[in-house]
A and B are shown apart, each in its own frame.
Chain A
Amino acid sequence: MAFEGLAERLQATFDKMKGRGKVSEADVKEMMREVRLALLEADVNFKVVKKFVNDVKERAVGQEVMKSLTPGQQVIKVVNEELTALMGGEQTKIATAQKSPTVVMMAGLQGAGKTTTVAKIANHLRKHNNRKPLLAAADIYRPAAIDQLETLGKQLNMPVYSLGDQASPVDIAKGAVEQAKEEHCDYVLIDTAGRLHIDENLMGELQEVKQAVQPDEILLVVDAMTGQDAVNVAESFNEQLGITGAVLTKLDGDTRGGAALSVRQVTGVPIKFAGVGEKIDELDEFHPERMASRILGMGDVLSLIEKAQTNVDDERAKELEKKMRSAEMTFDDFLEQLEQVRNMGPLDDLLQMMPGANKKAMKNIQVDESQIGRVEAIVRSMTKHEKDNPSVMNASRKRRIAKGSGTTIQDVNRLLKQFEDMKKMMKQMTSGQKGKKKGKGGFQLPFM
């Protein structure tokens, strides 16, 4: 890949500074040049970069290096703190109105991902906050935008309010709020058409919708890949609508997402969510401090832990762990483990969040989800007896399993070998360092 990530770029600079005792002005100057270039390549707006670099320079020069840190680390610390501060410090949740329903209106350019985000937020509200949302289809311009929201509503089994593409967005919004009241929905999420921030007519239309339903939250949806123009977009949406928050989409790409910094800086509103995948549950609450440390290559350990917590069934995890310790694990347990990890979301996501995963070596590792499907197929083609006693496996059994799962004997052999290795490893682990693995039940897989 042509560009190194922001994290690596900074890391390389900081590595040069290793082993010095104090942060000198020359050091900082050299580093800040790199920081500036890195941030520019990450699409942070050049004005924001200028200000940021100056702020950091002022703070970093002459600082005593803390005992436990190298000068490079010391500057990372300052850069990290400033980045975090710039991105808004703490995580901010979506608003809840005093009186139901809470009205949330989306806004943004074409193709930013508003419709998908509406569905994702609705799903998030129901899953994590136990809310009952109503979706309102007010994008009457893009062909089939209403169909898209209705299809998503069906997938989620959630009500979608629509009046077709002939009604005005104002009427749709009003009607949706009315219906939400009747049906006791506590959130109304209004999808709107994408528009250019300089299109006066369409911006006027959004203002009318705002007037009519007084949204408690106006979220600007921003594509994480947006370049320098993110500043202009955010600024004019904010001026004309008074946005209360932002959602960053497509953050699962390899963009460095400098737009996040820009948007935050010019509008001052918090980024509330981040879209991290194509599936409907791939939406995260946005954690500024985590984003900052992710940029700096510290890995997103916190997100990983949280993900594991919501999806792994505690009881089952304990049971599995017990089995693993006694190395009694069978293929059935293995399958179950597989499911649990899968429930946490795409594996490459998980891998990326692991600290140290941001290394060059990891960059090209892509977990092929179909590979896991293959493993699953192999295990499912075994008989109960085989699953419990892998040692009975012989050539004819293997041939049958390969046939049954649509794989080759080599695939079957590989899996059996990995499974054995895994068991061996566990045995060693349990005899060696008991207790250390606690609470991490689901992570020992042969392909990780």
Chain B
Amino acid sequence: MGFFDKLKKKVTTQTDSVTEKFKEGLTKTRNSFVGQMNELFAQYRNVDEEFFEELEDILISADTGVSTVMELIDELKHEAKLRNIKQSKELAPVISEKLAEKLDKTGEDTSLNIQQNDMTVILFVGVNGVGKTTTIGKMAHSFKQEGKKVVMAAGDTFRAGAIEQLDVWGERVGVDVVKQQAGSDPAAVMYDAIHSARSKKADVLLCDTAGRLQNKVNLMKELEKVKRVISREIPNAPHEVLLVLDATTGQNAMNQAKTFQEATDVSGIALTKLDGTAKGGIVLAVRNELDIPVKLVGLGEGVDDMQPFDAEHFVYGLFKELVEENSENENR
């Protein structure tokens, strides 16, 4: 059974609603990506230098990053030789196989680290405007759906209107928000929030922070302090530090991941705004070079469009048409 077949089988046996979300959210991404791929296969029937050059352009246009692309192309060239692939079409499953491999390192668990008998603290970090507060709102909603008691901490005390924004989410979702005045110390907010959440017997505490560019040393220090305060109050917490990345971000995402990882020991990535035409190829590079798993993806503006990341779904979402077409071919 070919890779596409396996992928299809695996994905379709899982719950349809999730598959649907991925399919729908990735429509635009897929259309342009698969469109380009199909064109490539149509234009270059043979696997040769020109074919690889064109493929390189397509991958780069998805923000995959120069070094990751070069690596990928090298591996593909090697595979092509090894499996004696001459027709470009035959390489299609190999390409998606390699992509999936890079996104999902051998069946690693990318689910969130949720505490069974204690409060789970999740800290959200990232640069300005990536969608931290919105992600928290959506997460609060989904935890609440699961019947968990959720508290949110308004740790963005800097940006005008940020506290109000989280407040609105709190009302919308029906979740308590712990807040202080604008301009107050975010670490103090966290301290408050932890104690307040404890006394409310919350299951999950979601901590918002102000967006900051990763090259601002002082602001990164502030973030370190926020994390330190959380760890001091609850050993092992925060149980997750999620770096929120905007899917439209280019190569700077690498710098972001690296610096935020140094400061706060990021445990996973939440990739937002993937419902545009952006392909979020940068997560490949981040996964590949820094080994931070993607744990959540934002596939739309709806409150339940934040989904756990699943590499197979993601690749299936990207290659849907190719998968269907090819698995037919493979079966023939």
Please list the residues of chain A having a beta carbon within 8 angstroms of any beta carbon in chain B.
Answer: 1-3, 37, 40-43, 45-46, 109-113, 115, 142-152, 155, 196-198, 223, 225-230, 232-233, 250, 252-256, 258-259, 278, 366, 368-370
Map CB proximity to A onto B102-145 as digits: 1 under 8 Å, 0 otherwise. Answer: 00000000000000000000000001111100000100000000
- With both chains docked as a complex, state the minimum distance between the C-beta of A109 and any C-beta of chain B, in angstroms: 7
Whether B128 and A366, one on each chain, are in contact in the complex, defined by CB atoms closer than 8 angstroms, is no
**Complex Cα spacing A225 to B127, Å:** 10
Whether A233 and B248, one on each chain, are in contact in the complex, defined by CB atoms closer than 8 angstroms, is yes
Whether A226 and B250, one on each chain, are in contact in the complex, defined by CB atoms closer than 8 angstroms, is yes
Whether A368 and B167, one on each chain, are in contact in the complex, defined by CB atoms closer than 8 angstroms, is no
**Complex Cα spacing A149 to B161, Å:** 8
Is B208 among interface residues, defined by CB-CB distance under 8 A?
no
Whether B57 and A143, one on each chain, are in contact in the complex, defined by CB atoms closer than 8 angstroms, is no
**Complex Cα spacing A355 to B167, Å:** 46
Which one of A197, A225, A370 has the greatest number of beta carbons of chain B within 10 Å? Answer: A225
Map CB proximity to A onto B13-33 as digits: 1 under 8 Å, 0 otherwise. Answer: 000000000000000100010
Whether B252 and A278, one on each chain, are in contact in the complex, defined by CB atoms closer than 8 angstroms, is no
- Please give, as numbers and ranges, the residues of chain B lying within 8 Å of A258 by CB-CB distance: 250
**Complex Cα spacing A149 to B137, Å:** 21
- Please give, as numbers and ranges, the residues of chain B lying within 8 Å of A110 by CB-CB distance: 129, 131, 273
Whether A254 and B129, one on each chain, are in contact in the complex, defined by CB atoms closer than 8 angstroms, is no
- Please give, as numbers and ranges, the residues of chain A lying within 8 Å of B252 by CB-CB distance: 43, 225, 253-256
**Complex Cα spacing A252 to B252, Å:** 12
- Please give, as numbers and ranges, the residues of chain B lying within 8 Å of A370 by CB-CB distance: 218
- Residues 231 to 259 of chain B near chain A (Cβ within 8 Å): 246, 248-255, 258
Whether A225 and B168, one on each chain, are in contact in the complex, defined by CB atoms closer than 8 angstroms, is no
- Please give, as numbers and ranges, the residues of chain A lying within 8 Å of B279 by CB-CB distance: 229
Which secondary structure dominates where chain A touches chain B? loop
- Please give, as numbers and ranges, the residues of chain B lying within 8 Å of A250 by CB-CB distance: 127-129, 213
Q: Which of B168, B213, B275 contacts A144 (CB 8 A)?
A: B168
Whether A148 and B258, one on each chain, are in contact in the complex, defined by CB atoms closer than 8 angstroms, is no
Whether B250 and A227, one on each chain, are in contact in the complex, defined by CB atoms closer than 8 angstroms, is yes
- With both chains docked as a complex, state the minimum distance between the C-beta of B286 and any C-beta of chain A, in angstroms: 11
- With both chains docked as a complex, state the minimum distance between the C-beta of A115 and any C-beta of chain B, in angstroms: 8
Closest to B128 in A: A250
Q: Which of B60, B250, B277 contacts A232 (CB 8 A)?
A: B277
- Residues 161 to 181 of chain B near chain A (Cβ within 8 Å): 161-162, 164-165, 167-169, 172
- Please give, as numbers and ranges, the residues of chain B lying within 8 Å of A368 by CB-CB distance: 217-218
Whether A369 and B276, one on each chain, are in contact in the complex, defined by CB atoms closer than 8 angstroms, is no
Whether A112 and B213, one on each chain, are in contact in the complex, defined by CB atoms closer than 8 angstroms, is no
Additional A-B contacts beyond A46-B57, A142-B165, A258-B250 (5; CB < 8 A): A150-B161, A196-B273, A232-B277, A253-B252, A366-B216
Whether A148 and B255, one on each chain, are in contact in the complex, defined by CB atoms closer than 8 angstroms, is no
A–B pairs, 23, beta carbons within 8 Å? A2-B255, A3-B251, A3-B254, A110-B273, A111-B128, A111-B129, A115-B161, A143-B168, A144-B165, A146-B161, A147-B161, A148-B165, A196-B276, A197-B276, A198-B28, A225-B127, A225-B249, A225-B250, A227-B249, A228-B250, A229-B248, A229-B276, A253-B213
- Please give, as numbers and ranges, the residues of chain A lying within 8 Å of B160 by CB-CB distance: 147-149, 151-152, 155
- Please give, as numbers and ranges, the residues of chain A lying within 8 Å of B246 by CB-CB distance: 111, 223, 225
**Complex Cα spacing A196 to B278, Å:** 10
Closest to B70 in A: A37
Whether A109 and B248, one on each chain, are in contact in the complex, defined by CB atoms closer than 8 angstroms, is yes
Whether B130 and A40, one on each chain, are in contact in the complex, defined by CB atoms closer than 8 angstroms, is no
Q: Which of B63, B172, B251 contacts A229 (CB 8 A)?
A: B63
**Complex Cα spacing A367 to B275, Å:** 39
**Complex Cα spacing A226 to B129, Å:** 12
**Complex Cα spacing A54 to B129, Å:** 35
- With both chains docked as a complex, state the minimum distance between the C-beta of A41 and any C-beta of chain B, in angstroms: 5
**Complex Cα spacing A142 to B159, Å:** 14
- Please give, as numbers and ranges, the residues of chain A lying within 8 Å of B315 by CB-CB distance: none
Is B66 among interface residues, defined by CB-CB distance under 8 A?
yes
- Please give, as numbers and ranges, the residues of chain A lying within 8 Å of B28 by CB-CB distance: 198
- Please give, as numbers and ranges, the residues of chain B lying within 8 Å of A255 by CB-CB distance: 250-252, 255
**Complex Cα spacing A135 to B32, Å:** 38
- With both chains docked as a complex, state the minimum distance between the C-beta of B193 and any C-beta of chain A, in angstroms: 19
**Complex Cα spacing A250 to B246, Å:** 14
Q: Which of B62, B66, B161, B276 contacts A109 (CB 8 A)?
A: B276
Whether A223 and B129, one on each chain, are in contact in the complex, defined by CB atoms closer than 8 angstroms, is yes
**Complex Cα spacing A109 to B217, Å:** 27
- With both chains docked as a complex, state the minimum distance between the C-beta of B69 and any C-beta of chain A, in angstroms: 9
**Complex Cα spacing A40 to B293, Å:** 25
Q: Which of A42, A144, A148, A233 contacts B167 (CB 8 A)?
A: A144
**Complex Cα spacing A145 to B65, Å:** 34
- Please give, as numbers and ranges, the residues of chain A lying within 8 Å of B218 by CB-CB distance: 366, 368-370
**Complex Cα spacing A250 to B129, Å:** 10
- With both chains docked as a complex, state the minimum distance between the C-beta of B140 and any C-beta of chain A, in angstroms: 13
- Please give, as numbers and ranges, the residues of chain A lying within 8 Å of B62 by CB-CB distance: 228
Closest to A146 in B: B161
- Please give, as numbers and ranges, the residues of chain A lying within 8 Å of B217 by CB-CB distance: 366, 368
- Please give, as numbers and ranges, the residues of chain A lying within 8 Å of B65 by CB-CB distance: 41
Is B214 among interface residues, defined by CB-CB distance under 8 A?
yes
Closest to A143 in B: B168
**Complex Cα spacing A255 to B254, Å:** 10
Closest to A251 in B: B213
Map CB proximity to A onto B273-293 as digits: 1 under 8 Å, 0 otherwise. Answer: 101111100100000010000
Is B87 among interface residues, defined by CB-CB distance under 8 A?
no
- Please give, as numbers and ranges, the residues of chain A lying within 8 Å of B130 by CB-CB distance: 111
- Please give, as numbers and ranges, the residues of chain A lying within 8 Å of B276 by CB-CB distance: 109, 196-198, 229, 233
Q: Which of B32, B161, B169, B214 contacts A148 (CB 8 A)?
A: B161
- With both chains docked as a complex, state the minimum distance between the C-beta of B302 and any C-beta of chain A, in angstroms: 13
Closest to A368 in B: B218
**Complex Cα spacing A383 to B130, Å:** 49
- Please give, as numbers and ranges, the residues of chain A lying within 8 Å of B63 by CB-CB distance: 43, 227-229
Is B215 among interface residues, defined by CB-CB distance under 8 A?
yes
Is B61 among interface residues, defined by CB-CB distance under 8 A?
yes
